[in-house]
Structure 1
Amino acid sequence: MPDFSVITQNLPYLLWGRALEGQPGGLLLTLIMSLEAGVLALVVGVLLALAAWLSGGWTRRILFAWADFIRGIPLIFVIFWLYFLLPSLFGVNLPDTITVVLAIAWFTSAAVMYSTLAGLEALPKGQVEAGLSAGFSRTKVLVNILLPQALPNVLPSLVGVFISLIKDTSLAFIVNVPELTTVAGQVNNRTQIYPTEIFLFTGAVYFLLCGALSLTVHLAGGRRARPA
């Protein structure tokens, strides 16, 4: 029979690590990393989509080539590159957690760029012509007219991207950042005899996190679509 007493005995460590000592870990660190990487990826991805929409020629090709390159390699490579290359090339020694956040944000921003650009290009072309004829510049048409319409339309796609981002934080274990998967592994190594219970609990936590995000956005979208 499964014995989940190992979870209750180690629950504070699994939930927030050594936060009381100024070193957050476990679920708390997973949430912090997800929020920071998500905000960075959203900002960078939207800006890249705007740049791709406004530009043409080589600038647009370079942006697409960059996004395709990032999407075509495993995230674990991006984490390794930043973790080992930043100190060797630039003499920059960032904290491990920040390095992973930057890697995940960089990786995810490519997906955000594609989703946002698809939303912009799906809008009727007549809106651009109407905005230009009203005296707006292309940048103002993009920011004031198109983007506020495109972002709600691509919200389901962005939610899927950010659900993947939450799960991607588990790769931080490869550089020993003490997020949820890492501390679960530490508890398992310490106890040795409860891997099933520990990793069932860890998987359930990720499922609840991702499910809660999806449900929240779904309910918010339902309220917005409901007539007043």
Structure 2
Amino acid sequence: MTDTLSDRLLDAALMHVAFDGWTETTFNAAVADAEVDPVVARGLFPRGAVDLAIAYHKQGDAEMLRKINAADLSEMRFRDKVIFAVRARIEAAEDREAVRRGTTLFALPLYAGDGAKLIWGTADAIWTALGDTSDDINWYTKRATLSAVYSSTVLYWLGDDSLGNDATWEFLDRRIEDVMRFEKVKAGVRENRLLSTVLAGPMAVLSRVSAPRRADDLPGGVGH
């Protein structure tokens, strides 16, 4: 029942977001349109439209994971798997104006933390779905890098009027290629005897950083 009410409210809200953004006006209109008790609606979404916007983002993550799990990625290069996942996530956001309004909302200082957490969550969902097993500093760097790729691609997509969003997919491909080059540089540093010696101290410290053991364990620990 709760999921049904939540979905009804979110669907109703999307009819108003293009005009009023993720605001209290939209929340109140959604409550009225969905014929949900205002007290119940506030219990489901305590911060009103802000929590609706968060639910909309998480709904997109869920749809992305469904597409990833349904696809046969076994023959793909890893870079292409990442591209597939990011593209699936963007395509899951069918309402471009809702995403645009959400980007504006989460750019506000009051909600910037929520926005950063959502983007990080998307990157984490992608890496986890693709089988990432890193348990050290790489756990963080992978997600930080993909968060940057995803967020920049979304911003590009919001202004893309090319046929089939071809310009966005080309932009995504370039960003992933940049990441691949960065990974090659990291590998080169590790293999370079001189640089490895110079960076031995910092690398020793970083090697003690571990991935979080629980969902609420961010940003991780040292010496677990």
- The reply to whether TM is greater than 0.5 is no
More helix as a share of residues: 1
Task: State the structure with bigger RCO (CA 8 A, min sep 6), 1 or 2.
Answer: 1
| Bigger CA radius of gyration | 1
Q: TM-score, normalised by structure 1?
A: 0.29
Q: TM-score, normalised by structure 2?
A: 0.30
